[in-house]
Amino acid sequence: MHQPKWLSNADLNLFPKNVRQTILHIISLAHWSLTYSRSWAADSPLQRVRLTAERDQAITKASQAEEIMRIKDARMGRTPPHQRPNYTPIERLAILELMAANAWSLAQTARTFMVDPDTISGWMKRLDDEALIQTTTPMNKFPDLAHYIVQRLKILCPLMGKKRIAHFLTLAGMKISSSSVGRFIKKPIKPKPPAEEKVHAKKPHHLVPAKYPNHVWHIDLTLVPTSSGFRTAWFPFSLPQCWPFAYWVAVMIDHFSRKIIGFAVFNSQPDSLQICSFLGRSIRAAGQTPKYIISDKGGQFWCKAFKCWCRRRKIQPRFGAIGKYGSIAIVERMIRSLKSECTRRIIVPMRQSNLRHELGFYFAWYNDFRPHQGLKGKTPIELYSGISHSHPKLNIRDPNLKLILDVAYMRQRPHLPIVSLKVAA
């Protein structure tokens, strides 16, 4: 290639120093461009175009996940074998299951998981050693074994339906109906998570106590990114905090019952007028006006327009103190649950109406089916309405009592389980 006339030798000397920065700029610019293209496709009136945007977003996430695994594998490969952490007994069984599902040889399995082939061979010879190979939960009965096998088949062979799994297990000598397979698929087997350490903070003396439902409401705003974050390679080193890169979500929660009173989704940071309109809709939906509304000192709340709006409706606005425990902890804890239980477990849709549907499903599940430790195991709707939805207590020590644990999912969302205990007929 010929050197352009406008390119001086001084520029060529700086070229190697700017290569890495140029790479990051180009990739960030590509993310910006693709996000805008998907946002246009998500709002298209043609369903084919909208589905294409969702498929493109899913393919991108899968490709990035493969790249993340490649980088992690490369890091582990540079660690000397004797310094690598050992696999747990549950992970060893999962490796052997993948080996069987893919028909890998000892060498292929060892190369994939960075161990010696003799190690895999030793695992195969000691399958009856519980100290070396374990399942996620103890298998003491035949239903437990069938449940585990169905779950692993669905994970390792996701295209197999419940009827095909039932026929396959019948041929293998395990007689099981397709309805039982479907029930096992809906009940995931999860090990007991480790207990979290509790941090005891000093509580302040001046708090607004909630004495009854709709006495004290909390309101706050949060950002829901459409991708994994906002970082970019150029100044100001952040993507714009607006659509199509993120949504602003306003949430209203009742302090006494922890019930979600209402929510709203905005394409950009809302102003005081939009917040007052959202509050008015929430009051009409609840049929009652709160005495206090607690918020932070954001520009939407710490302004004359918001305070005048509250004064006209005889609402006392209270503002959380910066860095103080208990001021807006209720709504912030709920927002943390929203992100950990919903928005970080789904692919955030580019279409605002689809995101409203997803948030509506989560908040309905949150109010009706999610028990709260702060409410002594009750759901928000039970405390809000004063009607207990809990089932009568059962004598679990009765040897003739047979119980069935039923797990369903709201709107087929696996992150929204509905758990119930039923007496077997």
How much is the pLDDT for 283? 93
| pLDDT on residue 35 | 82
Query: Please, which pLDDT band fits residue 5 given cuts at 50, 70 and 90?
Result: low
- DSSP-based three-state secondary structure for 376: coil
Of the two residues 25 and 381, the one the predictor is more confident about is 381
**pLDDT score recorded for residue 326:** 56
Residues of the chain with pLDDT > 70, as a percent, come to 85
Question: What pLDDT shows up at residue 39?
Answer: 84
Residue 307: per-residue pLDDT:
92
Stronger pLDDT, 306 or 191, i.e. the higher one: 306
> At residue 20, does pLDDT exceed 60?
yes
Q: Report d(CA 363, CA 369) in Å as an integer.
A: 10
Top-tier CATH class for 216-380: alpha beta
Per-residue confidence band for 198, with pLDDT thresholds at 50, 70 and 90: low
Over 90: is that where the pLDDT of 124 sits?
no
419, pLDDT greater than 60: yes
What residues pair up with 253 in beta bridges, in sequence order? 218, 260
Q: What is the total residue count of the chain?
A: 425
Q: Would you state the pLDDT for residue 361?
A: 94
Q: What is the rounded CA–CA span in Å between residue 131 and residue 128? A: 9
Residue 17 is predicted with a pLDDT of 59
388-412 pLDDT, tens per residue?
766 666 666 777 777 777 888 888 8
Mean pLDDT of the chain: 82
157-169 per-position pLDDT tens digit:
776 788 888 887 7
Q: Which two tokens stand for residue 297?
A: 């000192």
Select, from the ranges 20-34, 59-73, 105-119, 204-218, the one with the highest average predicted confidence (pLDDT). Answer: 105-119
> Helix (H, G, I), strand (E, B), or coil: what is residue 410?
helix
Instruction: Band the pLDDT of 289: cuts 50, 70, 90.
Output: very high
Alpha helix ranges (H) inside 130-232: 142-156, 162-171, 178-186
For range 135-151, the mean pLDDT: 79
- Please give the single-letter amino acid code of residue 320: G
The region of weakest confidence among 186-200, 236-250, 407-421 is: 186-200
**Cis upstream peptide for 236 (omega within 30°):** yes
The amino acid at 83: Q
Give CA–CA dist 11/146, Å, rounded: 68
Closest CA to 137 of 123, 128, 148, 126: 148
- Return the pLDDT at 13: 59
| pTM of the predicted protein model | 0.63
C-alpha 177/C-alpha 169 separation (Å) is: 9
Q: How far is 28 from 405, CA to CA, in rounded Å? A: 48
pLDDT at 391: 64
What is the C-alpha radius of gyration for the chain, rounded to an integer number of angstroms?
Answer: 27
CA separation (Å) from 227 to 51, 231, 258, 371? 18, 10, 29, 30
Give the tens place of pLDDT for each residue, 327-379: 688 899 999 999 999 998 898 988 999 999 999 999 999 999 888 888 888 88
Confidence band for 19, pLDDT divided at 50, 70 and 90:
low
Among the listed residues 378, 365, 298, 302, the one whose alpha carbon sits nearest the alpha carbon of residue 332: 298
Q: What six digits make up the tokens of 166?
A: 């039932």
Q: pLDDT-derived band of residue 9, with 50, 70 and 90 as boundaries?
A: low
Place of tokens 């007991």: 192
Domain boundaries, the chain: 9-78, 89-186, 216-380
